[in-house]
Amino acid sequence: MKGIVAAVAFEWLKLRRSTVMWAATAVLAVAVPLLSAGLMAAARSDSDGQLAVKARTMVIGSGWSAHFAVAGQVLSVATLVVIGIVCCWIFGREFTDDTIGALSSLAVSRGQIATAKFIVLAVWAIVVSAVVVLATILLGLFAYDGWPASDEWMVLTKLAVGTLLTAALTTPLALVSSIGRGYLTGIAVLFAIIVTTQIVTIAGLGSWFPYAAPSLWLGLGGPQAADQITLIQLLSPLLLSAVAMTATISWWRWSSAYRR
C-alpha cells in the first residue's frame, strides 16, 4: 500500500509541474466553455454565416437545455483530444525523456507505477471535468434568467456523464504510447482514431463504435441518433477502458522494453 501511495505522489508531482497539464486544463476549463457559449450566441443570432448555420444544427431544445447540449457536443470532441494528449504524455514521456531506466530502479514495482499513472490521470480528468461543468453553468447565468429547471439539470448530468465516458476512451493510448516508446506514437494514433470515428459514423455504424457512441449520445449526430444509443453501446467505453488499463499495467509489469 505504501508503494502505490508513493508512486501516486511521485506521478502527481510530475504532472503538476508539467506545462502539458496546465495547458490542457486551460483549454478544457476556459476555452471550451467559451467556445460553447460563442456557438450558442451564433446560433441565436440573425446571421446567415457558416458559423451560425453550423451552430444551429448543434442546438437541441431551448434555453439552458440547448446551452448544455451544445457544450456537451463540443466537449465530446475536446475531451478526447485534450485528455488523450495528456494520457500519451504521462505514459510516453518516460521513454522520450529517457527516464524509464530510473523508474525501473525505484522500490515500487513497475505495475504500481503504471497503476499510479492511471490514478493520477483519472483524478485530474474528473477534477477538470467538474471545473468545465461549473464554468458552463456560470457562463449560462449571463445569458439566461434564473437557475435551470429539473429537466435542464438532467441535460447537464448527461453532459457530465458523456464527458467522463469520453475521458475513459483515452486509456488505450497509454498502451500505445508505452509500446511505441513515446508520446508521439500515441498522439498519432489518437488522430487516426478521430478520423476513423468520422468514417465509421458516416457509414452509419457509429452507435456500435465506442469512440463514437458518447458523442452521438450527446447529440453530435442529431436528436434522432442520440435517442437510438442503447445502454450497452453507451457503456462500451468502460469495457474498452478496463481492457486497456489491464493490458497496459501488464505490459509495464512484464515487458522487457525497460532493459537497455
pTM score, whole prediction = 0.89
Task: Report how far apart, in Å, the C-alpha atoms of 79 and of each of 120, 214, 228, 252 are.
Answer: 16, 11, 23, 26
Contact 147, 42 (CB under 8 A): no
The predicted pLDDT at position 105 comes to 66
Closest by alpha carbon to 63, among 157, 132, 146, 144?
144
- CB half-sphere exposure, 217, CA atoms < 13 A: 30
Cell numbers found for residue 122:
483519472
Cell numbers found for residue 260:
537497455
Residue 201, C-beta contacts closer than 8 angstroms, at least 6 positions apart: 209, 212, 215, 216, 221
DSSP for 156-173 reads HHHHHHHHHHHHHTTTHH
Residue 236 CA to residue 97 CA, distance in Å, equals 34
49-98 pLDDT, tens digit each: 777 777 777 777 677 888 888 888 888 889 999 999 999 999 998 888 77
Cell numbers found for residue 35:
467556445
Write down the residue that cell numbers 497539464 correspond to.
21
Closest by alpha carbon to 110, among 247, 6, 1, 253?
253
Task: Report how far apart, in Å, the C-alpha atoms of 96 and of each of 10, 182, 217 are.
Answer: 18, 5, 37
The predicted pLDDT at position 260 comes to 39
**C-alpha dihedral over 151, 155, 156, 159, to 10 degrees?**
170
3-49 pLDDT, tens digit each: 788 889 888 999 999 999 999 999 998 888 888 888 877 777 767 77
90-140 pLDDT, tens digit each: 999 888 877 777 766 667 788 889 999 999 999 999 999 999 989 888 888
The predicted pLDDT at position 45 comes to 74
177-225 pLDDT, tens digit each: 999 988 999 999 999 999 999 999 888 888 899 999 999 898 877 778 7
